[in-house]
Amino acid sequence: MDALLSNAWVVIPLRILIVVGFVLTAVPALVWIERRALAMMQVRKGPNRVGPAGLLQPVADGIKLFFKEDVVPEKVDRFIYFLAPAGFLIPVLCAPAVIPWGPNDRLTPIADINIGILFLLAMTSLTVYGIVLAGWSSNNKYSLLGGLRASAQTISYELAMGLSIISVVLFSGSLSMRDMVLNQQGSLGLLDWHVFRLFPLGLIATGIFLIAMLAETNRAPFDLPEAETELIAGYHTEYSSMKFAMFFMGEYASMVTISAVMVTLFFGGWLSPLPFAPFTWIPGPLWFLIKLGVFIYLFVWVRATLPRLRYDMLMKLGWLRLLPTALVNLFLVAAIIWWQK
Amino acid sequence: MFEQILFAIMALVIVVTSIGVVAVRNPVRSALNLVANFFALAVLYVLLYAQFVAAVQIIVYAGAIMVLFLFTIMLLNLGSPSELAERSDIKRPITWGLALLFVIVLAGGVFIRLGEAKPAGDDIGTVQMVGKHLFTDWVYPFELTSVLLLIAIVGAIVMAKRRL
Amino acid sequence: MGAVPISWYLMLSAFMFAMGVTGVVIKRNPIVIFMCIELMLNAANLAFLAFARMQEPLSTQVAGHVFVILVMAVAAAEVAIGLGIIVAIYRLRDTINVDEMNLLKF
């Protein structure tokens, strides 16, 4: 077993299988969780016909999408129209390559590169191309508006996100995701996590990352690119069948990815919140999944709670509130770390 | 061997996409060609032991600059879709010929006399190394760059005013 | 390890630069002209990194990387201003064709 795991030709496909397989199987589960949780919060039943408690509903949806007619509007830019869904899904699936899911460095991450967090930022910033190109190539004014909104929104919130990540880089002194998790290990358990570092500065950075993460994944209350009430369905109005399913999968997969980043950067990755006996028996990957679940539930919760922002409010929040807060926060973190040395 | 194969593939991508940026008439397709070009360049940067620069290349160029380009193209395309189409005239074939000549001259210059690559340490392109030199030997250019960016921010705000 | 000769990188850089020059000369759309300028800047970046590999004391190789980062900052500033100018001109004149921007000409 040990010899097998040190063979690169075995272990790297295995790692890819674990990470991509997990993200892709999480998508239908997530769809079910979201629909049931939303139904619960809105005091209705939600899908409960297919399978026990509607568990097989995502499977039925998948089969439906597979066998639907694939309508291609007449005046689309065909090459880019076909390229866009793949351009959205591929970076989303590449991003988790650097996230460590457990303490065993043989199995995850796929590559523990020393610029891990930069790779992640690069990949998450690339997802916008799929949306912009889908909006442009559809030759539909609502789609185009959705694409325009997506590009402006992503650029605006990436800055705040990057600045809050830099404070984590300052805490841990490394860009490798594994080092960041190991840096949060300590005798105090969850008080050693980056959220509670230099209280309340770490907490502010976490809050900024949380808002920016909602905006980067185009989820409510920042789902302006697909706002149903104004833009029909925004950038994917003209997409049907499996091409629509790829956008759909991409959105949920990016929720999983960005929640995993959140857990890794601020909430101690696979570390247990309390570093003594009954809690340390639970294996690391399970802790990771529990924390991941909390943040995914948060996504759904926020969607059920907050109304969509108006476009100018979105820009004002990004540029006039988040960015200055993040800059001041980063300055304070840097000053205190410098002073402590 | 592996390095050379990777270089060959990426060089092919770069050649095709840089021709594409110029030859394609649709500006959105030009931009897409340029994005593909920047990706291939990032791979070459990794081959040149410049990991940090490769990551910054993708974040800055592909993630920010090209999105800004696409945003502007789409914004200006809203009013008049055919406005940005290119016309052809006598200037084009002459310029292509001159470009070819230019490549030949530059390539000839490269072949005259050139040493080989020195063996690089593994840590040349890491964030720690680049950062250390950026904030010691190159700190004045670095600070001047920040002033330049500040000027650019002020300029962009002036440009964005309703009435010029 | 079969390393790639530095001259290959420089040839590639020369080709990219030539394509950038061609685009600046023949294109009428200022946005595409900007993209061609980006192409030339990237050709220069590739040359910087390639020449960095030929520096003898290993510590001086980092100079090439630092230069590339400075060039990227300049490129970002240039794009922000340039695209702003293009949008402003479009607002004033309803066209962005460079052949029609001749108000400064006698």
Amino acid at C97: N
> Which residues in chain B show pLDDT less than 50?
80-81, 83
DSSP string, C59-76: GGGHHHHHHHHHHHHHHH
Rounded Cα gap, residues B7 and B12, in angstroms:
8
Cβ contacts of A154 on chain B, cutoff 8 Å: 67
Cβ contact, residue pair B72, C31, below 8 Å:
yes
A neighbour chains, 3+ CB pairs within 8 Å:
B
The pLDDT tens digits of the residues spanning A276-309 come to 777 777 788 888 888 888 999 998 898 888 888 8
The number of C-alpha atoms within 13 Å of B140 and in the hemisphere containing its C-beta is: 1
Q: What angle do CA A264, A266, A269 make, to 5 degrees?
A: 30
The number of C-alpha atoms within 13 Å of A223 and in the hemisphere containing its C-beta is: 22
Respond yes or no on whether ipTM tops 0.95.
no
Cβ contacts of A152 on chain B, cutoff 8 Å: 71
Q: How many domains does chain A have?
A: 1
Q: Does B109 touch chain A (CB under 8 A)?
A: no
Q: Chain A: give the shortest CA distance to residue B102, in Å.
A: 33
Amino acid at A323: L
Q: Does B64 touch chain C (CB under 8 A)?
A: yes
Q: Provide the terminal-to-terminal Cα distance of chain A, rounded to the nearest Å.
A: 45
In a domain, A62, yes or no: no
Q: Does C60 touch chain B (CB under 8 A)?
A: no
Rounded Cα gap, residues A189 and B67, in angstroms:
41
Q: Does B99 touch chain C (CB under 8 A)?
A: yes
Interface test with C, best of B148, B159, B162 (most C CBs within 10 A): B159
Rounded Cα gap, residues A53 and A59, in angstroms:
13
pLDDT of C1 reads: 42
Cβ contact, residue pair A80, B35, below 8 Å:
no
SS (H, E, C) chain A: CHHHHCCHHHHHHHHHHHHHHHHHHHHHHHHHHHHHHHHHHCCCCCCCCCCHHHCCHHHHHHHHHHHCCCCCCCCCCHHHHHHHHHHHHHHHHHHHHHCCCCCCCCCCCCCCCCCHHHHHHHHHHHHHHHHHHHHHHCCCHHHHHHHHHHHHHHHHHHHHHHHHHHHHHHHHCCCCHHHHHHHCCCCCHHHHCHHHCCCCHHHHHHHHHHHHHHHHCCCCCCCHHHCHHHHCCHHHCCCCHHHHHHHHHHHHHHHHHHHHHHHHHHCCCCCCCCCCHHHHCCCHHHHHHHHHHHHHHHHHHHHHHCCCCCHHHHHHHHHHHHHHHHHHHHHHHHHHHHHHC
Cβ contact, residue pair B72, C87, below 8 Å:
yes
Q: What angle do CA C8, C10, C13 make, to 5 degrees?
A: 115
In a domain, A211, yes or no: yes
Cβ contacts of B68 on chain C, cutoff 8 Å: 79-80, 83
DSSP element (H, E) containing B41? helix B27-47
Cβ contact, residue pair B130, C15, below 8 Å:
no
Decide if C8 contacts C46 (C-beta within 8 A).
no
Tens digit of each residue's pLDDT, chain C (106 residues): 457 778 888 888 888 888 888 888 887 788 888 899 999 999 999 988 888 887 777 777 888 888 899 999 999 898 888 888 888 888 877 777 777 776 765 5
B120 closest CB neighbour out of C38, C53, C76:
C53
Share of chain A above pLDDT 70, in %: 98
Query: How many residues in total does chain C contain?
Result: 106
20-39 in chain C: CB under 8 A from chain B:
20-23, 25-29, 31-32, 34-36, 38-39
Rounded Cα gap, residues B140 and A252, in angstroms:
45
- Burial call A139-166: b when 16+ CB within 10 Å, e when fewer: bbebbbbbbbbbbbbbbbbbbbbbbbbb
Cβ contact, residue pair B61, C42, below 8 Å:
yes
Decide if A167 contacts A204 (C-beta within 8 A).
no
Rounded Cα gap, residues B7 and B18, in angstroms:
16
In a domain, A278, yes or no: yes
> Which residues in chain A show pLDDT less than 70?
1-2, 227
Cβ contact, residue pair A155, B127, below 8 Å:
no
Decide if A32 contacts A54 (C-beta within 8 A).
yes
The pLDDT tens digits of the residues spanning A98-140 come to 888 878 777 777 777 888 888 888 888 888 888 888 888 887 8
Q: Does B160 touch chain A (CB under 8 A)?
A: no
Cβ contact, residue pair C25, B152, below 8 Å:
no
Return the axis-axis angle of helices B27-47 and A78-94, rounded to nearest 10°: 30
Instruction: Compare all CA atoms of chain B with the CA of A117 and give the residue at the minimum distance.
Output: B55
Q: Does B28 touch chain A (CB under 8 A)?
A: yes
Q: Does B127 touch chain A (CB under 8 A)?
A: yes
Decide if A263 contacts A120 (C-beta within 8 A).
no
3-state class (DSSP) for residue B122: coil
Q: Chain C: give the shortest CA distance to residue B122, in Å.
A: 11
SS3 content of chain C, % helix, strand, coil (to 5): 80, 0, 20
Q: Does B26 touch chain C (CB under 8 A)?
A: no
pLDDT of B37 reads: 93
**Token pair 């959220």 in the structure block, residue:** A195
Residue A199 dihedral angles phi and psi, to the nearest 5°: -45, 130
Q: Residue A73: CB partners within 8 Å, gap ≥ 6? A: A138, A139, A140, A238
In a domain, A54, yes or no: no
The two tokens of residue B112 are: 């005259």
Rounded Cα gap, residues A254 and C84, in angstroms:
32
Instruction: Compare all CA atoms of chain B with the CA of C17 and give the residue at the minimum distance.
Output: B103
3-state class (DSSP) for residue B24: coil
Q: Chain A: give the shortest CA distance to residue B116, in Å.
A: 28
Q: Residue C30: CB partners within 8 Å, gap ≥ 6? A: C82, C86, C96, C98
Decide if C48 contacts C64 (C-beta within 8 A).
yes
What would the CATH number be for the domain defined by C6-98?
A: 1.10.287.3510
Cβ contacts of C68 on chain B, cutoff 8 Å: 50, 53
**Token pair 């702003």 in the structure block, residue:** C84
In a domain, A52, yes or no: no
Q: Residue C68: CB partners within 8 Å, gap ≥ 6? A: B50, B53, C45, C48, C49
Cβ contact, residue pair C63, B137, below 8 Å:
yes
In a domain, A63, yes or no: no
Where does residue A3 rank: exposed (0-12), middle (13-18), buried (19+ CB within 10 A)?
A: exposed
Q: Does B154 touch chain C (CB under 8 A)?
A: no
What is the domain extent for residue A97?
2-47+71-340
Cβ contacts of B60 on chain A, cutoff 8 Å: none
Cβ contact, residue pair C20, B18, below 8 Å:
yes
Q: Determine how many CB atoms are found less than 10 A away from the CB of residue C93.
A: 12
Amino acid at A328: V
Entry pTM: 0.86
Interface test with C, best of B15, B21, B34, B153 (most C CBs within 10 A): B21
Q: Does B130 touch chain C (CB under 8 A)?
A: yes
Decide if A296 contacts A255 (C-beta within 8 A).
yes
Tell me the domain boundaries of chain C: 6-98
Sign, CA torsion C20/C21/C23/C24:
positive
Instruction: Compare all CA atoms of chain B with the CA of C32 and give the residue at the minimum distance.
Output: B27
pLDDT of C40 reads: 92
Instruction: Compare all CA atoms of chain A with the CA of B72 and give the residue at the minimum distance.
Output: A148
Rounded Cα gap, residues C83 and B64, in angstroms:
13
